[in-house]
Structure 1
Amino acid sequence: MTNKVLVLGASGATGKHVVTCLLKHDLKVVTIVRESSTLAPIYEHNDNYDEVRAQIDTLDIEVLAKLISQCNTVICCLGHNLSIQGIYGKPRKLVVNALMKVTSAISKLEKKAKTKVILMNTTGVRNRDIDEAPPLSQNLVIGLLRCTLPPQVDNELAADHLRVNIGQNHPYIEWVSVRPDALIDEQAVSQYDITASPTRNAIFDAAQTSRINVAKFMCELTLDERLWRKWEGQMPVIYNREL
């Protein structure tokens, strides 16, 4: 099967970098975007780009399964807009609901080869599969955010869906959840470090992670089988390298 990738959240700040990176590596890309977020003006002349204009939360699961049947990998860069409506409006569980729909669609297909699922998450979410011990100050603030900011809960539920519901031995799905720290915009890929767990306080000592570096790492996970096997079933953290 042709190496083809489905990208969710492709019109977002990181998602656009992901699409560009995949296309530069001559991979076929299909995106699901709202009519108002179409990327066609940017990529319409690239034969490897295809676009479905729909909302993932209302997209029929049979249609989604048909799209995924053509793909080896699903990359999810969905997130909440930094506005009152984006943070407190519906859907409050945008990411986890989309992820659950994706994994249900993959399971329905029962493909012989496992489908890779790559989720963009955050260092504010712990990997409870390993012995991570965030600083007390971080835990206190995260606890407050959990009560006041729906996106925090959404991110935690999305990670837990992969860890608990999909797990390490799913017959049709394998996954990686990528955790950047404080996201920034940069125009070019720079050096970055990947660690199994955060090495900084995500609240009071956050490091910078450029969106284009996150996109590069997720593309490498798609392309490099050795890298994929290294991080499969884990939640690697990505930091810009301090020079």
Structure 2
Amino acid sequence: MKILIVGASGATGKLLVAQLLSAGHRLKIIVRTTSNVPEAWSSNEYISLIRVNHITEISAHEMEVYLKDCEAVASCLGHNPNFKGIYGKPKKLVTDMVQLICETILKNAPEKSIGFVLMNTAGNSNRDLNEPVSFGQKIMIGLLRLLLPPHPDNEKAADYLRQKIGQSNPFIEWVAVRPDSLIDLEKVTTYSLHASPTRSALFNPGQTSRINVAHFMAQLLTDQAIWKNWKGQMPVIYNG
């Protein structure tokens, strides 16, 4: 399988690349020219490394070329955890990329639907399920929308898949993976998956290791049974 990955130079993205390579898949990886990526990527015959000045400058025509012959797409794209990354432009980094990828796929109208896995956050509700949210958390989410631009970006990216692509699109199937507080572990461990959060991401957060997120995303992309179980949903993942 050939898979396009955006956000591969991030902490979780690199782990996703490793998971997919170990399973023998071919990858197209879009990174910025300034991104720090493993040297081995440049010489790996299973990787096509695409460097761009900035991911927001990719045109529709360029994305059409990048998506050619890909059977799936994964996005680990996110805002850098610094002042410029949080408050600088582009404020809709993730949403704009999701929209560009989806619009390109729809334009190409592939014979077989493309699977799209988006890394999201447990702090974002799946409004298809009307998930219960406490009054206090609603207040805090409202503040996050005002004070932390990455949060509404994550919400809008998932909303685009839910509302614009929906559950029965003939060209795109999707899953938005929602980890809770991210931590670093060296190896994949047991983890649990839930259709909705089992705890408050703000007041009683769980933990999710980045390598477990990468493992689950890789499983979604490559295992049809797992994909069938979660497509069109926003599974929450916690460490076991």
TM-score (norm 2): 0.97
Kept in 2, the 8 Å contact 1:69–1:109? The answer is: no
SS in 2 for 1:37: coil
SS in 1 for 2:233: coil
Kept in 2, the 8 Å contact 1:6–1:31? The answer is: yes
User: 2:152 & 2:40 partners in 1: Cα distance?
Assistant: 33
Kept in 1, the 8 Å contact 2:42–2:49? The answer is: no
SS in 2 for 1:57: helix
Structure-2 residue corresponding to 1:42? 40
User: 1:132 & 1:62 partners in 2: Cα distance?
Assistant: 38
Letter paired with 1:172: F
Structure-2 residue corresponding to 1:63? 62
User: 1:43 & 1:135 partners in 2: Cα distance?
Assistant: 45
Q: Return the offset for 1:168.
A: 0.7
Letter paired with 1:211: R
Does residue 147 of the first structure (1) align with residue 133 of the second (2)? no
User: 2:43 & 2:65 partners in 1: Cα distance?
Assistant: 24
Letter paired with 1:106: I
SS in 1 for 2:85: helix
Q: Return the offset for 1:60.
A: 1.7
User: 1:33 & 1:112 partners in 2: Cα distance?
Assistant: 28
Q: Return the offset for 1:131.
A: 2.6
Q: Give me the CA root mean square deviation.
A: 1.0
Matches within 5 A, 1:5-16: 5-16=3-14
* Among candidates 21, 26, 47, match of residue 28 of structure 1: 26
The 10-residue stretch of structure 1 (193-202 or 51-60) with the greater mean CA deviation from structure 2: 51-60
Give percent identity, aligned residues only.
46
Structure-2 residue corresponding to 1:168? 167
Structure-2 residue corresponding to 1:138? 137
Letter paired with 1:80: H
User: 2:169 & 2:155 partners in 1: Cα distance?
Assistant: 20
- Structure 2 unmatched runs, 5+: none
Q: Return the offset for 1:38.
A: 4.9
Structure-2 residue corresponding to 1:106? 105
**What CA deviation, in whole Å up to 9, does each residue of 1:86-113 have, x standing for no partner?**
0000000000000000001111111110
Kept in 2, the 8 Å contact 1:4–1:71? The answer is: yes
Structure-1 residue corresponding to 2:16? 18
Q: Return the offset for 1:50.
A: 1.1
**What CA deviation, in whole Å up to 9, does each residue of 1:97-141 have, x standing for no partner?**
000000011111111100011000001111000130022222211
Q: Return the offset for 1:39.
A: 2.5
Letter paired with 1:17: L
Structure-2 residue corresponding to 1:79? 78
Letter paired with 1:123: A
TM-score (norm 1): 0.96
- Cα distance change on mapping 1:40 and 1:60 into 2, 3 Å: farther
Structure-1 residue corresponding to 2:200? 201
Structure-2 residue corresponding to 1:236? 235
**What CA deviation, in whole Å up to 9, does each residue of 1:172-209 have, x standing for no partner?**
10000000000011111000000000001101110000
User: 1:137 & 1:189 partners in 2: Cα distance?
Assistant: 34
Structure 1 residue ranges (4+ consecutive) displaced by more than 4 angstroms after TM superposition: none
Q: Return the offset for 1:42.
A: 3.0
SS in 1 for 2:56: coil
- Structure 1 unmatched runs, 5+: none
User: 2:60 & 2:119 partners in 1: Cα distance?
Assistant: 22
Letter paired with 1:53: R
Kept in 2, the 8 Å contact 1:187–1:212? The answer is: yes
Q: Return the offset for 1:40.
A: 5.5
